[in-house]
Amino acid sequence: MSVDAQTVRRIARLARIAVAEDEVEHLQGELNAMLAFVEQLSEVNVDGVEPMTSVTPMAMKMRADEVTDGGKAEAVLGNAPQSDDGYYMVPKVIE
């Protein structure tokens, strides 16, 4: 599997990463090197093997339905470049 220049541009746009046109070729090479590396895994025959979801067999832990968090708007907004009256303020987004 390998990606072309168009796919590189598309992935960058979906990830909202600005990629200049002169970087595309270089990134394409890097991505294809990674894909080739990972592709070595397909040499292993995994017919009939369940996908592994955890290193040790365990069930997902569940919480009780209790309110144990929240009430810390200041901490939540602490790293925001801009906030106002408890809101995050971001560049205008409207449909």
Partner 1 sequence: MNVQSKPSKFIKGATGDWEVVIGMEVHAQVSSKSKLFSGASTAFGGAPNSHVSLVDAAMPGMLPVINGECVNQAVRTGLGLNAQINLRSVFDRKNYFYPDLPQGYQISQYKQPVVGEGVVVVDLAEGEAVSIGIERLHLEQDAGKSVHDRHPQMSAVDLNRSGVALMEIVSKPDLRSSEEAKAFLAKLRSIMRYLGTCDGNMEEGSLRADVNVSVRKPGEPLGTRCEIKNVNSLRFIGQAIEHEARRQIEIIEDGGVIVQETRLFDPNKGETRSMRSKEEAHDYRYFPDPDLLPLELTAEAVAELKAKLPELPDEKKARFVRDFGLSSYDAGQLVAERETAEYFETVAKGRDAKLAANWVINELFGRLNKEGKAIASSPMSAGQLGGLIELISDKTISGKIAKDLFEILWTEGGDARALVESRGMAQVTDLGAIGAIVDDLIAQNPDKVAQAKANPKAMMWFVGQAMKSSGGKASPQAVNDLLKSKLGV
Closest separation in Å from C-beta 42 to partner 1:
18
DSSP state letter for 84: E
Q: Is residue 91 a contact residue for partner 1 (CB under 8 A)?
A: yes
* Tokens, residue 95: 């449909």
DSSP secondary structure letters along 5-35: HHHHHHHHHHTT----GGGHHHHHHHHHHHH
> Other C-beta atoms within 10 Å of 9: how many?
15
Q: Is residue 59 a contact residue for partner 1 (CB under 8 A)?
A: yes
Closest separation in Å from C-beta 63 to partner 1:
5
Q: Is residue 70 a contact residue for partner 1 (CB under 8 A)?
A: yes
The length of the chain, given as a count of residues: 95
Q: Is residue 14 a contact residue for partner 1 (CB under 8 A)?
A: yes
Q: Is residue 69 a contact residue for partner 1 (CB under 8 A)?
A: yes
Given the rule CB under 8 A, which residues bind partner 1? 14, 16, 53-54, 58-73, 75-77, 82, 84-95
